[in-house]
Structure 1
Amino acid sequence: MHAPHEILARAVAADATRPALTYYDDRPDGTGERIEISRKVLRTWVAKASNALQEGLDVQPGSVVLVDLPAPHWRLAYWALAVWSVGATLTVDAHEGADVLVTADPDSPVAEDSDEVVAVTLPALARRYSGELRSGVMDEAAELASYADDFTPWDEAEEQDTALVSGGERVAYAELVDGLPDLPSGSRALLATTDPGRFVRQVLQVLFHDASAVLVHGTVPDAQDPRWGSEGVDHLPQDRTAFGG
């Protein structure tokens, strides 16, 4: 089994400073920010989120975590990897029962019905959630930094345990990197899918193949956009081996 935390660890060991994810917020009402996250920085975000889940929210194998964040967003990427690091089940289906909800909308009906909620602020420089939070809701922007930069799971998932629930489909840990296109080592893929289940598996596949990704949030990427040349993108969504769509 190619465990997600082992895939990330191998990518960091191969080249810790290499970009893992480069994020463009192209939404009409977005921030317009460009965020570049190295493999080492991604591992730190994953470790902090994993510690928050394990120590702060008692998440472990058998737990279900609903991550209600937009795709393709870098925060969705590290929260997905964190859920897998603790050996829990990640669901992106809002109707699925969950022990913990990670969301950018802590006032939604789903959040109101959830006992454990993590409120995520999407912009990179946010230091606290901008609105009012009900008692007991974790403010990721304010609290995540207090968790350790290294993570050791209390227990690990088995191969047959459910890693992902997406579109009603259940994917076991042993199947997470199966059935996705290969990438040449060192390649740079453009990811633009708005399907969160597809996106989190694509991120894992990029790391598995020692590649990196450019995330475009909010628009369908134009193959002629000069940004992709400057970013070194060599796989676009219309390519057979690309990850868009």
Structure 2
Amino acid sequence: MTTTPAIDLMGTLRSGNSTSPRLTWYGPDAERVELSGRVLDNWVAKTSNLLQDELDAEPGMRLRLALPAHWKAIVWALASWQLGLETVLDGGPADFLATDDPSGATGEDAAVIAVALPALAMRWPGELPAGCLDYAAEVRSHGDVFMAHTDPDPEGCAVRTSEGRTVPHRELLTGFAVPHEEGARVHVPADRGLESALSSALGAWQRDGSVVLTHPGVALTDKLRADERIHGS
């Protein structure tokens, strides 16, 4: 079986200190979501299975993320990389579009997935355009373990950055991730954008660290920093 850094990373997150917090989200209206390595892997597996089994995604295809920096957006990126897809961050054309605003989708997007951002959302709040898939309503029915139908290509493109730079899967953790200290609990402000959140999270996880991601409306107070034991940036 061919492996990639993203696949190896998911294996580490679900097996090494798997009950420790790996991704904590502070959202609007006092929303707080904490995902351990095992729970994060579970969400990523379900999302990968949705892409593979329901949308026929396979290595080399492109997924555009039209999402803010949010824990669900990070799940989508990890699922994309686990499958061997190219994650598109520059707004370019793609085979799949994951968005929190499906009304803005165009005919260039072959498959549109509406992602409701509230943690407790069980379905999209309101009517969806015809043919649009409701992530919240569909994802929970998919398996907790992901088995790829086709091996990813380590030389294939993993991410197209907002500036159009491409990074292959084999270099995702060396050419895209931002380095952090070993075991750092890193604060990532969402107002820096999804690309910054993804690169920072990957850099923390590859050094056995974790991430606290905060919505633009959430202030990083001394209390929050102390409560979350943030000691990296």
TM-score by length of 1: 0.87
Q: 1:233 aligns with which of 200, 216, 230?
A: 230
After TM superposition, the structure 1 = structure 2 runs for residues 87-106 of structure 1, keeping only pairs within 5 Å, are 87-94=84-91, 96-106=92-102
Q: What count of residue pairs does the alignment treat as equivalent?
A: 228
Range with bigger deviation, 76-85 or 6-15: 6-15
In 1, the alpha carbon distance for the partners of 2:107 and 2:140 equals 25
TM-score w.r.t. length of structure 2: 0.91
Q: Which residue of 2 aligns with 1:48?
A: 46
Cα 1:111–1:18 shift into 2, 3 Å: farther
Shift of 1:181: 4.5
The reply to whether residue 21 of structure 1 matches residue 28 of structure 2 is: no
Q: Which residue of 2 aligns with 1:174?
A: 170
Structure 2 counterpart of 1:85: 82
Q: How far apart in 1 are the matches of 2:119 and 2:174?
A: 32
Following superposition, the deviation at residue 220 of structure 1 comes to 7.8
5+ residue gaps, structure 2, are none
Structure 1: give runs of 5+ residues left out of the alignment.
Answer: 236-241
- Give 2:111's aligned residue: 116
Q: Which one has the bigger helix percentage?
A: 2
Identity of aligned residues (%): 34
1:86/1:154 contact within 8 Å kept: no
Q: 1:64 aligns with which of 50, 62, 65?
A: 62
- Aligned CA distance change for structure 1 residues 175 and 135 (closer, same or farther; 3 Å): same
Q: Pick from 186, 202, 205 the counterpart of residue 204 of structure 1.
A: 202
Distance in 2 (alpha carbons) for counterparts of 1:64 and 1:130: 27
Is this contact kept in 2: 1:8–1:208, CA < 8 A? Answer: no
Q: Are the aligned partners of 1:106 and 1:112 in contact in 2 as well (CA < 8 Å)?
A: no
Q: CA 1:220–1:129 in 2, change beyond 3 Å: closer, same or farther?
A: closer
Amino acid at match of 1:228: R
Deviation by residue 1:202-236 (Cα, 9 ceiling, x = unmatched): 222222111011001114854x531111111001x
Rounded to whole Å, the distance in 1 between the matches of 2:137 and 2:79 is: 18
Measured after TM superposition, the shift of residue 9 of structure 1 is: 1.0
